[in-house]
Every structure is written in structure tokens, then in C-alpha cells.
Chains A and B, each alone.
Chain A
Amino acid sequence: YKTFAGDPKWDHNDVTYRIINYTPDLEISVVDDAFARAFKVWSDVTPLTFTRLYDGTADIMISFGKADHGDPYPFDGKDGLLAHAYPPGEGVQGDAHFDDDEFWTLGKGPVVKTRYGNSEGAMCHFPFTFEGKTYTTCTTEGRTDNLPWCATTADYSRDKKYGFCPSELLYTFGGNADGAECVFPFVFLGEEYDSCTTEGRSDGYRWCATTSNFDNDKKYGFCPSRDTTTIGGNSDGAPCHFPFEFLGKEYDSCTSEGRGDGKLWCGTTDSYDDDKKWGFCPDQGYSLFLVAAHEFGHALGLDHSNIREALMYPMYTYAEDFSLHKDDIEGIQYLYGRRTGPDPTPPQPDTPTTIPYPDPDETDPTDEPTEPTTTRPVDPTKDACKVTKFDTITVIEGVLHFFKDGHYWKMSSNGGLKGPFSVSERWSALPAVIDSAFENMLTRKLYFFSGTRFWVYTGNSVLGPRSIEKLGLPNTIQKVEGALQRGKGKVLLFSGENYWRLDVKAQKIDMGYPRYTDAVFGGVPNDAHDVFQYKGHIYFCRDRFYWRMNSRRQVDRVGYVKYDLLKC
């Protein structure tokens, strides 16, 4: 998992959200439910709660839009970009936008929720038979009022269970007419309209008047998509017209002819050749629930994961029975902690938790024996200001330490430099050259890395040397050049242009690593020979220089180790 630069998160657990507008592809109640379930994905594993607001400003403002929808990141028509969301914060931060040039479903084709009839709002059952004929879409057959309907079981003749399908003749949504159905024809700007239109709008949404004259009454609503509504194209969602003519041939169903991408389309008049009116046919569509759960992850502070099965993986994949991946849970709990209270508990890790994590204190029989070392004399004239490049710089017990060839100096809190001291006098098992070191803030254990080996000091007792492969680092690594504490139990280990995240308690590298340093820490050299943390900043050292990065991962200073850190 990854969080955004500076780990932005909500500073309260009772997060609010508001649904600003709706997609015509799904009944309002289906959208409400999909969003509520998407929030529940995250509240199930954290202390977060999500409360819906119906007006005013909520933390997470949810809206649908097409192409340029009012922020600097336009959508791109059908497919491609599905949605985006902003990290937690004020204003647009925390908001989630969904591309309404997509066909929103629950991932398995049109979601046709019925109204009225005798099925209490049940979904259409496709295919269904009626008077011996099979239907895969809603139909107006058998009715004189031209209202599309469907059976809610496979056989209408047997069960007589039916309901009415989404249609502008039945209801509208949004607008100012409280969901009243369209009135056709209606007058708008002096012109007469016999169907929904996008005229008068720049956002591409289809609307209609709910009285016969919009110019006088100003009453309107948005038109729900019918299950045969086309998507995208240039027909404003008008339904397919079967048969239609294309390149002189007649088509009774959707076709991919004429396209190189295999997408199914249809004409929305009887002749495409004459009218050039077309649209994409409804396909499986994209699960609003799954995409919303992903986007809400961003709105809570999670960036993209590179674990393919994780919800926060950038690409869309439909999952029938969805559950959060361990990586997502670790990520959101890194930000907000675990859910308090009895249930539901997140899925337990697949390894039986009775096996205790390997404790680094246990001497591993395969470990190399600790080599006897002799104390090296200290050359008091050794001047830290004459060192161009230290072996490593790190903070131990809150004090900045500079290591070089078996010696080290300490920067006291009043800014004075003390030393040199002998490494072997204080840590007798260590070699002269230390590539990197860090102090685990939880256990106060000191980790030292030299070449492909590492040592763990607990007070005066030491474990090691052991191979860094024991931690799960690959054998291709020559040396560990930097270490950054992340939270309580994680440490980033840097080598070359990559870094790994070590779970200190488990003594193993987390999944999804290595990552490129400059992909996450933009603006610093990707071949720094030392990386350390000091007073809330991250330092990347190369030769005599350091690049200092603040908590929002912005490089806010480039300077000389000698003058700025050693105060030479």
C-alpha cells in the first residue's frame, strides 16, 4: 500500500459524505446503496464512521460528471478513466468524481430495478418469456401506454410477476419537479421536444420538462437511462433502433462492425448511413460499488497499491464476492488504526497467528559466530570537517551520529560536535565501515548494516553478523545505504535506486517492494549513498551535499553536510 505525501488523513473519525448528483444508469436507491456499501468496506476495519448529509458541505462530496467536469482533470469518454478522488483535506480535497460517460452497473450488466407493478421493486429477470416470446430487455409489448415493463421471474405467463422499467415516462430524477415524469411534447426556448434532450446544458445530461411548457413553468427533471439506452456516441442516450442500416446492410442487433476495438454499438435511427446517429450498446458496465470503494480509499488517504489483488490497485477488475485484501487493510489501519469494538474483525492473516514472529533476539543456529574484534585506537586529531563523505549518518538516542572508518562523532543538542570516538569501543562486534544504521523506536534495538551483513544490538548484547537475506532482501544487494523509520514498526531500507519496507517485528520485507526511490521521493538523487531521518526531515546525501525533504515529501533545502550539519 502507499499513502499520499505527508500521510494526509481526516483528523476526525466521524467522516461525512454527500451525494451531489446521480447517474442516469442506476436507480437512485441503487446508487445510494452502492455508496453506503463502499463506505462500509472501510468502516468495517477502522474506527471510522460515515454519515450522509443531504445539504451543505460534507467531508467527501460525491458527484458524477463527463469530460471537463469542473476540475483540472477532465474525464475521457467511455472506458479509460473511470473516476478519481482527492486525498483528505479542505475544499475539493476528499471529494470523489465518477465519469458518467461510463455505463454504471454493479459489474454484471444493466441493473434494472422496477417500480410499481406487483414485485415490490424487484430487479427485472432477463431473459423472461411473455406470450411465448423471449425478451432480454424491457418491452412495451402488451401495453398501449408505451410504458416499458419486464417480468421479475423467468416466466411471466406462469408467475404474472412484473414491474415497470426505468423510463422518463415513469419518473425523472434531480431537477425541481420532485421526480415527476416527463411531458411530451414540451416547449423549450420556443421549440417543441418529443423526447429528452441535452439542449441548453453543457454537461451532456439528458433532461425534459415535466409540464408542457418549460419556458413558462421552469419545471424539469433528468431522464433515467432505459435498459436499451445507448452509451456515449452522439444520440444523447437515445435507445437503439432495430433494424438499422449500416454500410448498406441491415442490423437487428448491436454490432462491432466498422470499429477496430470490438465495442458493440447500434444506430439510433433506422439508417446510420443517412443520419449518422449512434451509440454504444449496454455492456457489463463498471461496478459502481467497486469503483466507489477504491475512490473512497483515496478520499481517506490511500494512494495506489502495486498488489494486483488489492482494491487500491489502479486498474479495474470485476470481483464477484469482494473482500478487502490484507494490503488494503494494513494501509488504512496504518492511517486510522484498527476498528475498536467487537465485530466485524478483518479477515485473519492466512498464516496461523499462533506462530510467534521470529524474535531477532533468538540466536539463529545458522548465524555466523560473532567475530572477536580488537579495540582500535582513536586518532584524536581526526577532524570530522575534513571528511568529504561519511560512511553513514544516523540518529541514535536522539543524537546525530557521523560514522567514518571505525570512528564516529556525535552532534550534541547544543550544536557542538563531540568525538572522534571508537566504534569498536562502544560496539565491539562491528566492522570499521558501517553503511547504514537505525534505532528501532519501539524496542530501542540498534541495527547496523555493513555490506551484506547486519548486527542487532540490544544494550551491550549483540546478535549477528547475519545475512541481510534473512530479512528478505534479495541477494543482489551489495549494501544497505539508508534507513527511514515509518510509523512504529516499519523501516524503509534503501539500496541503489530502490527501497524496501521492512516489518521490524516480523523481520521480513513487506509485499509489493522494492519501489523506485524517485517514484515516491520526487526531486532527490536516486543514487544517494546515505538516507536518514533527523528532526522531522528526511535527508538524502550524495557526496558533500544533502537534499532535505519535509513531511509532505517536498525538497525544501539542498545544502552542505559539512557546513549545515557538522557546523564546520
Chain B
Amino acid sequence: WSAPLKSKFVTFPGEILKNMTDMELAENYLKKFGYMNTVQRSGFQSMVSTEKALKMMQRQMGLEETGQLDTSTLEAMKQPRCGVPDVAN
């Protein structure tokens, strides 16, 4: 068998580029769906840590609540979904 062809990745013109680091993707996801940096209307300003935000997202998605950006959590963040935030504030 010949060695597999080394895939050469190209940037396709016109594509909405989504190549972010995993951490950037995760932070973007957690903010977009209301898990962190939500603008509190008033009252107690609880700044949610990334770890706590990850745990909240893992609970919402029925994943193991590790608070870590593990593979299954990252996979879940890449899944097609509804745009309505999970945490409404």
C-alpha cells in the first residue's frame, strides 16, 4: 500500500472562516449561548468562571460535569444547533 497522500489544506475563498483554537471556539460558544459574560440586568454581579460556565453547559447538554474542555464537550460545541441562548438573562 502506498503511504496515504499528505492532505494539503487550502483556504477556500468566500468561506465564513471558523478556524479558531479550541479555547477560542469554547469561549465564543459559552458567550454566544449565555453561559458566561451575560449582562446582568441588575443586582448581584456574579462573574462566572470559564470552569463554572463549562459545567453549566455540560449539565445542559447532559455531559459529564468536569468543568474542563474535554473532547466530548468540544464535540458538542461543534454540533449544529438552535441559535437561541441556553441561559437567558
Binding site for B on A (CB under 8 A): 4-5, 67, 73, 75-85, 99, 101-102, 232-234, 247, 257-260, 265, 276, 278, 286, 291, 294-295, 298, 303-304, 306-308, 314-316, 515-516, 518-520, 522-526, 547, 549, 554-556, 558
A84-B38 contact given A76-B18, A257-B7, A260-B9, CB 8 Å threshold = no
Q: Bound state CA distance, A265 and B12, in angstroms?
A: 10
* A315, B80: Cβ atoms closer than 8 Å: yes
State the Cβ distance, A266 to closest chain B Cβ, in Å. Answer: 12
- With a cutoff of 8 Å between Cβ atoms, the chain A residues found around residue B42 in the complex are 523, 554-556
* A258, B7: Cβ atoms closer than 8 Å: yes
* A232, B8: Cβ atoms closer than 8 Å: no
- With a cutoff of 8 Å between Cβ atoms, the chain B residues found around residue A76 in the complex are 16, 18
A247-B8 contact given A303-B88, A304-B86, A522-B40, CB 8 Å threshold = yes
Query: Which of these, A298, A316, A522, A556, contacts B89 with CB under 8 Å?
Result: A522
- With a cutoff of 8 Å between Cβ atoms, the chain B residues found around residue A525 in the complex are 44, 46
A316-B84 contact given A522-B38, A523-B41, CB 8 Å threshold = no
A-B contact pairs, 15 of them (CB 8 A): A75-B83, A83-B83, A234-B15, A265-B12, A286-B80, A291-B82, A304-B86, A307-B62, A314-B82, A518-B46, A518-B48, A522-B41, A523-B43, A524-B43, A555-B41
Q: Bound state CA distance, A515 and B44, in angstroms?
A: 19
* A523, B44: Cβ atoms closer than 8 Å: yes
State the Cβ distance, A545 to closest chain B Cβ, in Å. Answer: 9
A308-B62 contact given A314-B81, A547-B44, CB 8 Å threshold = yes
A258-B80 contact given A526-B46, A547-B43, CB 8 Å threshold = no
A554-B41 contact given A314-B60, A518-B48, A526-B46, CB 8 Å threshold = yes
A83-B82 contact given A519-B56, A555-B42, CB 8 Å threshold = yes
Q: Bound state CA distance, A315 and B84, in angstroms?
A: 11
Task: Please classify the interface of chain B as helix (H, G, I), strand (E, B), loop, or mixed, using the class held by over half of its residues.
Answer: loop
- With a cutoff of 8 Å between Cβ atoms, the chain A residues found around residue B10 in the complex are 247, 258
* A73, B83: Cβ atoms closer than 8 Å: yes
- With a cutoff of 8 Å between Cβ atoms, the chain B residues found around residue A247 in the complex are 8, 10
Most buried by A among B8, B13, B55, B89: B89
* B59, A515: Cβ atoms closer than 8 Å: yes
The chain B residue sitting closest to A259, CB to CB, is B9
Besides the contacts A84-B83, A259-B12, A304-B82, what 13 more A-B pairs have beta carbons closer than 8 Å? Answer: A77-B16, A82-B82, A234-B12, A276-B13, A295-B82, A298-B82, A308-B62, A314-B86, A516-B59, A518-B48, A522-B41, A547-B44, A555-B41
- With a cutoff of 8 Å between Cβ atoms, the chain B residues found around residue A278 in the complex are 12-13
* A524, B88: Cβ atoms closer than 8 Å: no
Task: Please classify the interface of chain A as helix (H, G, I), strand (E, B), loop, or mixed, using the class held by over half of its residues.
Answer: loop
- With a cutoff of 8 Å between Cβ atoms, the chain B residues found around residue A516 in the complex are 55-56, 59
Encode contact with A along B11-52: 1 for CB under 8 Å, 0 otherwise.
011111010000000000000010100101111111010000
State whether the Cβ of B2 lies closer than 8 Å to any Cβ in chain A: no
- With a cutoff of 8 Å between Cβ atoms, the chain A residues found around residue B44 in the complex are 523-525, 547, 555, 558
The chain B residue sitting closest to A260, CB to CB, is B9
State the Cβ distance, B5 to closest chain A Cβ, in Å. Answer: 8
Q: Bound state CA distance, A83 and B9, in angstroms?
A: 29
Q: Bound state CA distance, A259 and B12, in angstroms?
A: 9
- With a cutoff of 8 Å between Cβ atoms, the chain A residues found around residue B38 in the complex are 522
- With a cutoff of 8 Å between Cβ atoms, the chain A residues found around residue B13 in the complex are 234, 276, 278
* A81, B12: Cβ atoms closer than 8 Å: no
Q: Bound state CA distance, A286 and B33, in angstroms?
A: 21
State the Cβ distance, B77 to closest chain A Cβ, in Å. Answer: 10
- With a cutoff of 8 Å between Cβ atoms, the chain A residues found around residue B15 in the complex are 77, 232-234
State the Cβ distance, A293 to closest chain B Cβ, in Å. Answer: 11
Encode contact with A along B47-89: 1 for CB under 8 Å, 0 otherwise.
0100000011001111000000000000010011111101111
* 4 interchain residue pairs of minimum CB distance: A555-B43, A234-B14, A77-B16, A84-B83
Q: Bound state CA distance, A518 and B56, in angstroms?
A: 10
* B41, A67: Cβ atoms closer than 8 Å: no
- With a cutoff of 8 Å between Cβ atoms, the chain B residues found around residue A102 in the complex are 80
- With a cutoff of 8 Å between Cβ atoms, the chain B residues found around residue A314 in the complex are 33, 60-61, 81-82, 84, 86
* B83, A81: Cβ atoms closer than 8 Å: yes
- With a cutoff of 8 Å between Cβ atoms, the chain A residues found around residue B7 in the complex are 257-258, 260
Q: Bound state CA distance, A257 and B7, in angstroms?
A: 7
* A67, B16: Cβ atoms closer than 8 Å: yes
The chain B residue sitting closest to A101, CB to CB, is B16
Most buried by A among B15, B40, B48: B15
Q: Bound state CA distance, A259 and B35, in angstroms?
A: 31
State the Cβ distance, B56 to closest chain A Cβ, in Å. Answer: 5
State the Cβ distance, B57 to closest chain A Cβ, in Å. Answer: 10
